[in-house]
Amino acid sequence: MDRYILASQSPRRRELLHLVIKDYEVIPSEGEEVVSSTDPDQVVQELSMQKALEVAKKVRPCEGDRIIVIGADTVVAVDREILGKPQDRADAARMIGMIQGREHHVYTGVTVCTVEGSTPKDGGNPEPQYFSFSEETAVDVFPMNRGEIEGYVSLEEPYDKAGAYGIQGAFSIFIRGIRGDYNNVVGLPAARLYHELAARGLV
């Protein structure tokens, strides 16, 4: 029996994962995030791997069962410079100022860890097996004047999101277009994840 776990408490990722897997649990990762790269696509893969492995090592499958843990991380990058979550209103306004009137890129890394249940004769706990991938989407933003930027950062929306905006929220009126997977910008490339899982017999 397969048991699916999402290593994230993001409500957006929960909704998107439900498109791929109907029944799953949520066990958020809690470890410190450490990266060794500055390339956005590598950073998100490293972070998603850390999240998935942390949770995979906490759970123990029953004999004959298989646990499948999915970790994800999303960053926004302008000219390969990563924009994290804003620290305050001024930081949010700075970030929106960087992405307005131009194209930027959103990267989501996904790691899938599998842990097979061992039999008593096997002894010990098997090490998780995993694979990672990243998806990139280009987002083009209309030019915004100072009043529009200040109006947007006065909302609650920007402050828990990479790059200080949510494409599915109030910021959507400033999106001129995208190239790539919309769901990737929201936080999880559901179509890519489905096909990666299907190719390995995991869904």
Give me 141's structure tokens: 């933003």
Q: Among residues 65, 73, 122, 160, which one is catalytic?
A: 73
Reading phi first (left if > 0) and then psi (alpha if -120 to 50, else beta), residue 187 is in left
Helix (H, G, I), strand (E, B), or coil: what is residue 165? coil
CB-based contact 42:25 (threshold 8 Å): no
Contacts of 203 (CB under 8 A, 6+ apart): 20, 21, 194, 197
In sequence order, what are the beta bridge partners of 112? 70, 131
3-state helix/strand/coil string of 71-131: EEEEEEEECCEEECCCCCHHHHHHHHHHHCCCEEEEEEEEEEEEEECCCCCCCCCCCCEEE
Q: What are phi and psi of 4, to 5 degrees?
A: -100, 140
**Euclidean distance between CA atoms 78 and 99, whole angstroms:** 7
73 is annotated as an active-site residue:
yes
Active site residues: 73
